[in-house]
A and B are shown apart, each in its own frame.
Chain A
Amino acid sequence: MTLQLLFDALSLGGIYAIAALGIALIFGVMKLVNFAHGQFIAFAVFALIVPSTDAVAVMGLGAAPALVLVPAILAVGAGLAVASEYLVFRPLRNASPVALMVASFALGVVIQNGLLVAYGGRPKAISLWPELGKPVALLGAEVPMLQIIVIVSVLVVLALLAVMLKRSRIGLEMRAAAEDFGMARLLGVRANAVIAGAFALSGALAATVALVLVAQTGVADVRMGGQIMLVAFIATVVGGMGSLPGAVAAGFALGAASVALQAALPIEARPFRDAFLYGLVILVLLLRPQGLFAAASAKPRV
């Protein structure tokens, strides 16, 4: 029972952490709170199926073997994010963070309704890797195979990202730009390359969330991604705006809080779980307006 809760918390927290990273990365380099991130996730979900307004989903890319499918979907997410940067955010490079945020909200609405036009408004059932739903026995608990895969992939993604940020040139440039973009440019760091890189990574992270969501829920819905994006926002605020380790830590913390609330709340209160979660977060921020993990941002581990 407790072990099962631990797995739930890890897998949910992992998804939140990946989504929060996608938001914190972009916020770090260009102070944009990307309200279109949830729609990046939804777009990657729908990229799996053939566009049609029919009730039944026909797998397109989703029918491909995982070895092709996973990189292709990551590329779709990255491509959408880079295109958004080029078309919407680059012309707004010198705009205020508020204008950027409002523009991203509008972009999200455009993407979501674009999906609505192409795929129709009703949720569609799609089954991606159904064989992963089977439970396996692990340390005396029955855990769905999928959950283990999710946890492992989340850890792999986090590790890859950490190595990339720590060891690669673009990673170093991103971290420098996140701290002082003007100074980085004075040292010859190309603003366009760094920002496009951050968007590409963020889009690929959104696509990762999309794959996990589809595999877990078996549904494609134009509204999906919204709730996760909100939790991810909260994680970036709680983690100290723009701090990547803070975002990851806060993502896992919110996942754990969410699972704990689900277990602790009486049955009739469970539908309100997210409301409790948001309320809890506002409460936490009252006590520490600079974010729970703000101190950690001074010495990032990634």
Chain B
Amino acid sequence: MMSKLGVFDLSVRYGKLTAVNDISFSVAEGERVFISGPNGAGKSSLLAAIAGEVRAAHGRIEMDGDILSGRVPEAIARRGLSMVPEGRRIFRALTVQENLMVGVGLRRDKTAVPDDLEAIYAAFPILGTRRHANAGALSGGQQQMLAIGRALMTNPKLMLVDEPSLGLAPRVVDEVYDRLCSLQAQRGLTLVIVEQSSARAGRVGGRMLLLRGGRIVADGDATAFAADDLLKEAYFGEATP
């Protein structure tokens, strides 16, 4: 079977700095893949390159066998890839509902939009109650849910989520992951999640890619990883140049 997402020999550079160094991996349809690793490992750069925000220096990215690399972000989004970016990047001056509606412009099935909107409000009731409030007034956890809901409103097949737990209380993080997992099950989504905490990834469960210095240093089951002390040592040990 063809993989949902294929990354081949991908490198991302900022000037002389190499953030992602010759990475290859693939993600199967319906899979949940965590990307973990220390700060500066290249996790966010990898997601940005897949979404088309950053131009790859080298390599190829495919989705459903269709080449994504070299396309502008809006064209990639129109192929069914959606992104929940680092820092959430909510449109603060727009209302909650307007935030959710920004991404529906790319959809062909416009008639399904009202039902989808209600589904998002059902999954995140707080967004429903505050649908006409300015998004800037939401709390951090609520903004994270809004960012997820906004990405879902484009009706994606593949969703990239960058550090959903950043700056949130542990209880809220649990809630965010609960919702993400149940939404994934409902919709048959493929998820690629950047998660700094391997323990958290292990508890949620799925596959894990461990990134370090722009390279994949391990690829396996997240729960097994979280239990592995040797790996943790490698993870927290001195960075190799």
A interface, CB within 8 angstroms of B: 169, 172-173, 175-176, 179-180, 182-191, 297-300
User: In the complex, what residues of A have CB within 8 A of residue B74's CB?
Assistant: 185-186, 188-191
Complex Cα gap A300–B101 (Å): 18
Known: A185-B74, A185-B77, A188-B154. A173 touches B102 (CB 8 A): yes
Chain B 35-66 interface mask (CB, 8 Å, partner A; 1/0):
00000000000000001010000000000000
Partner of A186, one of B53, B101, B134: B53
Is B93 interfacial (CB 8 A cutoff)? yes
Residues on the B chain within 8 Å of A186, using CB: 51, 53, 73-74, 77, 82-83, 85
Name the one of A183, A191, A297 contacting B72, with C-beta atoms under 8 angstroms: A191
User: Is B94 an interface position by the 8 A CB rule?
Assistant: yes
The reply on B91 being an interface residue by CB < 8 A is: yes
- Are A188 and B91 in contact, with the CB atoms below 8 A? no
Query: Chain B residues in contact with chain A, CB under 8 A?
Result: 51, 53, 72-74, 77-78, 82-83, 85, 89, 91-94, 98-99, 101-103, 105-106, 134, 136, 150-151, 154
Q: B93 to chain A: which residues have CB within 8 Å?
A: 175, 179, 297-300
Docked CA distance A169–B107 (Å): 13
How many whole Å from B91's CB to the nearest CB in chain A? Answer: 5
State whether A187 touches B102 (Cβ < 8 A). Answer: yes
| A-B contacts besides A179-B91, A179-B92, 20 pairs, CB < 8 Å | A175-B94, A176-B91, A176-B98, A176-B99, A180-B89, A183-B85, A184-B91, A185-B74, A186-B51, A186-B53, A186-B83, A187-B150, A188-B77, A188-B154, A189-B103, A190-B74, A297-B93, A299-B134, A299-B136, A300-B93
A–B Cβ pairs within 8 angstroms, 25 of them: A172-B94, A172-B98, A175-B93, A176-B94, A179-B91, A179-B94, A180-B91, A182-B73, A182-B89, A186-B73, A186-B77, A186-B82, A187-B77, A187-B82, A187-B106, A187-B154, A188-B103, A188-B154, A189-B103, A189-B105, A191-B72, A297-B93, A298-B93, A298-B134, A299-B136
Q: Quick one: which of A188, A190, A300 has the most chain B CB within 10 A?
A: A188
A182 and B91 within 8 A (CB) = no
Of all chain B residues, the one with the shortest Cβ separation from A170 is B105
Q: How far is the CA of A183 from the CA of B91 in the complex (A)?
A: 9
Contact A185 B94 (CB under 8 A): no
* Of B74, B89, B94, most A-chain CB atoms within 10 Å: B74
